[in-house]
Amino acid sequence: MASYKSPELRDKLAAEYVIGTLRGRARARFQALLRYDPDLRRTVSEWEARLTPLSAAAGEIAPPARVWQALAGRLAGAKPGGGAWTGLAFWRGLAVTGGAFVLILAAFIGVAPRPEPPMAMVAVMSDDKGVPALVVSWPSMKAMRDPYVRIKVVQEHPVMAPGTTWEMWMVPAGKSAPVSMGLISTDADQTMKLKPALASRMEGAWGVAMSIEPKGGSPTGVPTGPVIFKGQCVKLL
């Protein structure tokens, strides 16, 4: 269409496209044109820059939590193998749904690739903003020869500062003094062996926490550095 060559018309169409009054087939035609015409794209961008401040003035409306949940689910589905994403989407959703928590959690742990005993307890550890960072789970410690907990990273860690370590703590029910579980690495999926004395207490754990400690771990036996992740335990069995 020759008329698209007129600069005035191009500008007018771009403006109406951005304002939204260009509709139907005219809009479709204009969009087709945009694909091949960088100059026209620039004209559109200019109008967008002119008018978008209006949108900002119009006030915010928070979408319901289900939008993020569905979005996270879609992205997780669209990216099979995007393990970390699946993790984040997953845990974010959980943070809101609450009730479905244990069931989905069980399903998540159920699909763990390694054959291992069913997990008896789990804690999702979050940062101070409530964003999940680690999942700690463990099987029933009864009759276990080498008691351990599994630790999975659901989103990337902050960098471990030189000269520091990360120490895991079991917070007993009644929230008495935390008991050290050991030092963790930056591995995405790791197993932490527990001393038998601690293993026998894991069933009664109220929560788990992770603190930043000097190399070698807390010198005092209680957390000395900041607690960056913590989470409450949930019984699965």
Partner 1 sequence: MNRPAPDALAMRLAELLAQAALKNQRAFADLYQLTAAKLFGVALRILRRQDWAEEVLQECYVNIWNHAGDYAAQKSAPLTWMTSIVRNRCLDWLRRPQREATGDEYDIAVEAWQDESPGPLESLMASSEAAALARCLRELDARQRQSIMLAFFHGLSHSELASHMKQPLGTVKTWVRRGIERLKGCLAAAA
Residue 9 sits in the site that holds partner 1 (CB under 8 A):
no
Residue 96 sits in the site that holds partner 1 (CB under 8 A):
no
Select from 60-68, 97-105, 170-178, 218-226 the region that touches partner 1 (CB under 8 A).
Answer: 60-68
CA distance linking residue 165 with residue 82, whole number of Å: 28
> Based on CB atoms, which residue is closest to partner 1, 179 or 210?
210
Shortest distance, position 72 Cβ to partner 1, whole Å: 8
Q: Which residues contact 128 (CB under 8 A, 6 or more apart)?
A: 228
Residue 155 sits in the site that holds partner 1 (CB under 8 A):
yes
Separation of CA 38 from chain center: 37
Which residues within the stretch 202-221 sit at the binding site for partner 1 (CB under 8 A)?
A: none
Separation of CA 177 from chain center: 29
End-to-end C-alpha distance for the chain, whole angstroms: 70
Residue 128 sits in the site that holds partner 1 (CB under 8 A):
no
Shortest distance, position 51 Cβ to partner 1, whole Å: 6
The site for partner 1 (CB under 8 A) is made up of 11-12, 15-16, 18-21, 23-24, 27-28, 45, 48-64, 66-68, 70-71, 74-75, 78, 82, 84-85, 88-89, 92, 131, 155-156
